Amino acid sequence: MPANTTRAPSDSSRQRRAHLKSRNGCVRCKRLRKKCDEGQPRCARCVKQGTDCEYANATDGGDEATSSGGGVSELHGRRAVVASDSDVEMRDSLSTDPTSAHRPASSHLHAARSHADSAMPPAAPSRTGSGGSGLPMLSARELELFSHYITHTSRVIPHGREDMFPLQVGMPNLAFSNPAVMDSILALAASCKCHDMLLGGDGAASSDRRLGGICELLRLADRHHQAALGQLQSDICERQFRSVLPNAALMVLYALSCHYVRVLLARRAARLGARLAKDVLPFQSQWITSIRAAHVAFVGLLQPGLRSSSASSSSAASPGLNSEEDEDGDNGEEAALLVSPLGLSEADRSGADKFQDGPAEETRRLLLPIVASTYESALRKLRVRNAADLEGDAKLEACGAALGLLEELFQVIVGGGDAVPPPRKDAPRPHDFGALDDVPPWLVRYLARVTSATPSRLWRRRIMAFLNQVPFEFLHLVQLALDCMPVEESRHHEPSSPSLGDSGVSSSAPQPLPLEAAHKPAMDIFAHWLVLVMLLDGVWWIGDVGHWELGRIARFIEAQGFALDLAEGETWWPETMHAVKSTLGGGAA
C-alpha cells in the first residue's frame, strides 16, 4: 500500500461559501441569531411577524434603542444577550444545575448543592450595557418602575411569610438574568403605579392632562407585558421552561390589576366628561384567560416526560408540593435573605393584613351579611331555573358541573363550611416532575399556591380558583358572551371624535354576536360567582372588578332581552346584590 495517498475532501471539510453577515441587524434578529435585512424603520422579519423592530444606537454603544412603535424606551421588550460562542460552550459544559452558570467556579468542585443554594436564585450578571455579557441597561423610567416594585408593589401583595421570598427576593433576582421576568415585573409595577395615582387622593388624576399621563403609563405597562409574552413564546419553543412559572404568577397579577386600573380610569374619565381611547378601555375577557393560563401552564409542566432543554437525568431532586416545609412556608434560608423577618414596614403591614384578602371594611360590615343571609335561596332558585337545561348536551353538562362547584364555593366562603383540608402526609408523590426538575423549589411552591394546585385558606385564591376548576366548555361560553358586550364607556364614543390619549385606534364597539341556548345558564351561573368576586374589593389588584363585570352583564341582559325565566315578581339576585354594592359606594373612583 502506498505510503502517501491522496484522499478526496469530504463534504464536511469543505469551507463555507463567502457570504455577507448582518452586523447591524435589529435587536430581535440578533437575539434569535437570524440574518436581518436591516430594513428601516422595520426589517422584513419583524414586519412579517408583526413585532416592533429596534436597532442599537451606535452613538452610545447599544445601551439605548429606538423603536418604530413609539418614543418610550422598551429595552427589555426584545433585548439581545450578547455572548461569545466560547461563553456559551463554557456554560453548556458546566453542571446541569440551572444556577451553576451564575455561581463562582469554585462552587462546581462540590458535587452536592446545599439547601441555601437551592433557595437563592441565580446571581444577576452585571448590566454592562455595551461590550459586556449582561442584559442592556435599564432606562431611567424602567429603573423608577423597578424601584417601585421593590419598595412598594412586592410588599403589598404577599399575605404571609411564604409569599414574601418569591415576590421580594426570588423574582427580582431572576429578572436580572431573564428578560421576560424583568418585563413582567416592570409591567406590574407600572400598573400598580397607575392604581396609586388614581386612588392616591392627592388630585393626581383630577385633570385631563393627568389622566393622559396615566394612559401613557398604562400603555408602557402593556408594551412590557406584550414583550414578556413574546419572549415567553420564544422560550417555550426552545423548551426553556424556567421563565414560564415566574411569568405565569406575575401575569395573573398584571392582568387583574391592569383591568381594575382601566375600570378606575374609565370611571374617572366619565366623571371628568373625557373620552378614552380604545386601547386603554377595560378588558373584555382577557383577564379570565390569564388566570386560567397560569394554572394550565403549571399543571402542564408537571406532565411526566416533559423536560427542558437544559435538564438531564442527573438534575437536582424534584421539588415537593406537599411537604411540611410547603405547608408553613417557614424556610430558614429564604427568611435570612429577606430584608427583615417581617419584610414590611409597619404602615404597609397594617394595610396589607387588613385589606389584601377579602372585602374592604364597609363591604365586610354591610354587604357580606346580606350575601350570607340570601345566597342559599338564590342558589336554590338558580338550580330550579336551569334544572331542565343542564342535560343532554356537552356544553349544558359543563354548566351543570360549574353550578355544583359554585354551590360548594358559596358554602365554604360565606356558609361557614369546612376549611380546605391540608395535603395528606401519605399522599403519593409523582416520580417525575417533568419540566420542573430544574426550577427552584421556592418557585414551584409559590405557583402551586397561587394557582390553587395546593389548598389555600385565602379567599382571593379560593374564589379565583373557580376559573381553574370549571370545565373549559363553560368558560368558553362565558368568554364568548363577555366579548360580545361593549364596555360601558364605549357607548359614548364617536369614531370621529378625538379621545383622551388617543393612539389612533377606533373606539367603536363591536356588534354583539348571536348567542346560543347554553349561554343563558352559563351567564346566570357566572353572574352569581361575580357576587363573590365583589367580596374581594379589599384586594387592591382586584378591587371593583366584580362590581364592574356584573354591571356589564346586567345591562347587556336588559338591552338584549336575554330572558332568565324568572318567576313572577322575582328579582334576579346578582342584580340585587349589584345594586346594594352600588349604594355602598361601589363604582366610585
Higher pLDDT, 156 or 76: 156
CB 246 within 8 A of CB 181: yes
CB 367 within 8 A of CB 577: yes
**21-84 is classed in which CATH architecture?**
Irregular (4.10)
Mean pLDDT of 325-336: 46
Short-list 390, 375, 392, CA closest to 535: 375
Query: Helix, strand or coil for residue 187?
Result: helix
Indicate if the pLDDT at residue 293 is higher than 80. yes
What are the extents of the domains in the chain?
Answer: 21-84, 136-350, 357-426+456-501+511-583
Indicate if the pLDDT at residue 568 is higher than 90. no
Indicate if the pLDDT at residue 271 is higher than 80. yes
φ/ψ of residue 95, rounded to 5: -60, 155
Higher pLDDT, 567 or 447: 447
Give how far Cα 10 sits from Cα of 6, 16, 19, 151, Å: 12, 13, 21, 62
Neighbours of 183 (CB within 10 A): 31
The tens digit of pLDDT for each residue in 145-164 reads: 999 999 999 999 988 778 88
Which three cell numbers mark 425? 402526609
Whole-angstrom distance, CA of residue 564 vs CA of residue 573: 12
Indicate if the pLDDT at residue 238 is higher than 90. no
| CA 360 to chain CA mean position, Å | 24
pLDDT at 327: 39
Listed range (6-10, 264-268, 458-462, 538-542) with the worst mean pLDDT: 6-10
Indicate if the pLDDT at residue 303 is higher than 60. yes
Listed range (12-21, 44-53, 244-253, 285-294) with the worst mean pLDDT: 12-21
Indicate if the pLDDT at residue 104 is higher than 50. no
Indicate if the pLDDT at residue 193 is higher than 90. yes
| CA 389 to chain CA mean position, Å | 35
**Could you tell me which residues are beta bridge partners of residue 70?**
67
Higher pLDDT, 510 or 57: 57
Indicate if the pLDDT at residue 78 is higher than 80. no
Indicate if the pLDDT at residue 495 is higher than 50. no
The tens digit of pLDDT for each residue in 351-401 reads: 444 447 789 999 999 999 999 999 999 999 999 888 766 667 888 899 999
For the CA atoms of the chain, what is the radius of gyration?
26
Indicate if the pLDDT at residue 250 is higher than 50. yes
Q: What percent of the chain has pLDDT over 70?
A: 62
Indicate if the pLDDT at residue 81 is higher than 80. no
pTM of the predicted model as reported, rounded to 2 decimal places: 0.69
pLDDT at 37: 87
Listed range (2-6, 32-36, 462-466) with the worst mean pLDDT: 2-6
Indicate if the pLDDT at residue 125 is higher than 50. no
Whole-angstrom distance, CA of residue 335 vs CA of residue 104: 23
pLDDT at 16: 55
| Long-range pairs, 322-326, Cβ under 8 A, ≥24 | 322/423, 322/424, 322/425, 322/427, 322/429, 322/454, 326/423, 326/445, 326/448, 326/454
φ/ψ of residue 549, rounded to 5: -65, -40
Higher pLDDT, 79 or 30: 30
The pLDDT-based confidence of 334 (bands split at 50, 70, 90) is: low
Whole-angstrom distance, CA of residue 404 vs CA of residue 383: 9
Short-list 424, 390, 427, CA closest to 407: 390
Give how far Cα 381 sits from Cα of 386, 415, 570, 574, 581, Å: 9, 17, 10, 12, 21
Whole-angstrom distance, CA of residue 280 vs CA of residue 173: 31
The tens digit of pLDDT for each residue in 399-409 reads: 999 999 999 99
Indicate if the pLDDT at residue 490 is higher than 70. no
Which three cell numbers mark 25? 441587524
Residue type, 159: H
CA angle in degrees (0–180, nearest 5) for 312-316-318 = 100
The pLDDT-based confidence of 90 (bands split at 50, 70, 90) is: very low
The pLDDT-based confidence of 242 (bands split at 50, 70, 90) is: confident
Q: 583 Cβ partners below 8 Å, 6+ apart?
A: none
Whole-angstrom distance, CA of residue 256 vs CA of residue 266: 15
Output the furthest CA–CA distance in the chain (Å, rounded).
Answer: 109
Nearest-10 crossing angle of helices 244-272, 208-237: 160
The pLDDT-based confidence of 418 (bands split at 50, 70, 90) is: low
Helix (H) or strand (E) holding 67: strand 65-67
pLDDT at 498: 44
Mean pLDDT of 321-350: 46
Q: What percent of the chain has pLDDT over 90?
A: 33
The pLDDT-based confidence of 427 (bands split at 50, 70, 90) is: very low
Query: What is the chain's mean pLDDT, rounded?
Result: 72
CB 489 within 8 A of CB 276: yes
Listed range (201-205, 270-274, 430-434, 558-562) with the worst mean pLDDT: 430-434
The tens digit of pLDDT for each residue in 469-478 reads: 999 999 999 9
Mean pLDDT of 165-169: 91
Q: 317 Cβ partners below 8 Å, 6+ apart?
A: none
Which three cell numbers mark 8? 478526496
The pLDDT-based confidence of 510 (bands split at 50, 70, 90) is: very low
Unique residue bearing C-alpha cell 408523590: 429
Neighbours of 498 (CB within 10 A): 9
Indicate if the pLDDT at residue 189 is higher than 70. yes
CB 170 within 8 A of CB 335: no
Higher pLDDT, 573 or 127: 573
Q: 51 Cβ partners below 8 Å, 6+ apart?
A: 28, 78, 230
